[in-house]
Amino acid sequence: MDRPRVEAVFFDWYGTVADIGALVVGCEAAAPGQGQELAARWRARQLELTWLRTIMGSWADFEAVTADALTTALAELKIEVTDPARARLASCFVELPARPEAVAALADLRAAGLRLGVLSNASRGMLALGLDRTGLRSSFDEVLSVDAVRRYKPDPAVYRLAVETVETNPDRIGFVTTNGWDAAGAGAFGLRVAWLPHGADETLPLVGAPGPVVAGWPELVEIFRSI
């Protein structure tokens, strides 16, 4: 069996390995009838804050950003929750389950001889809790958090962490994400990107980045043999 052309593959965590769709369950418990809307608004504000803080050079770790985004989403939707309910909501991001298809793909890539890693916006503490909860800590050789550079994806400094860790060229590193903005950022940096879109109608941001390979989970081993 031929070895893949890349030396290592890094995965985004939230939304890619960790199933962010499960966030709706916790949001629905806190705000019956508004769970889906609250989850979507919370995630949107979370990402918005990461981009704003990076552009403005105003760092706060992902746990703080997530809490601020929740406060904003609740206020925008005029949802009032008790302090205990807010605390339960805040814990949702570290309690997300792993996607079964991600677990299977990790095992296949490991069997193909690849070095595997996480490259995430999450804080070191959030990643440690998430990896322990999903039982995936042993699946990864490297766990990289943006805490190391105090900037968020898609800033090039974040993707550079993978290059510095593996000590190879960007085109020898694969990257897997379900997030189009993340796929665009990693591709622009020079990583070999496999993008797993949520639906057939999803498109990448038009920022001139090299196009990633549009993929499905079972195809990842074959993709990283050929790109």
More confident residue, 73 or 90: 73
Buried b / exposed e along 37-68 (16+ C-beta atoms within 10 A): bbbebbbebbbebbeebbeeeeeebbbebbbe
Class of domain 20-94: mainly alpha
The whole-model pTM stands at 0.93
Q: Are 42 and 23 in contact (CB under 8 A)?
A: yes
More confident residue, 51 or 214: 51
Helix (H) or strand (E) holding 192: strand 192-195
- pLDDT tens, residue by residue, 111-150: 999 999 999 999 999 999 999 999 999 999 999 999 999 9
Show me where the domains of the chain are located: 8-19+97-226, 20-94
Q: Are 30 and 88 in contact (CB under 8 A)?
A: yes
Q: Are 90 and 64 in contact (CB under 8 A)?
A: no
Q: Are 151 and 56 in contact (CB under 8 A)?
A: no
Tokens at residue 184, please? Answer: 């665009």
Tokens at residue 73, please? Answer: 């989403």
Reply yes or no on whether the pLDDT at 225 is more than 90: no
- Of 2, 12, 68, 201, the active-site residue reads 12
Class of domain 8-19+97-226: alpha beta
* Active-site residue flag, 12: yes
Q: Are 144 and 119 in contact (CB under 8 A)?
A: yes
Rg of the chain on CA atoms, in Å: 17
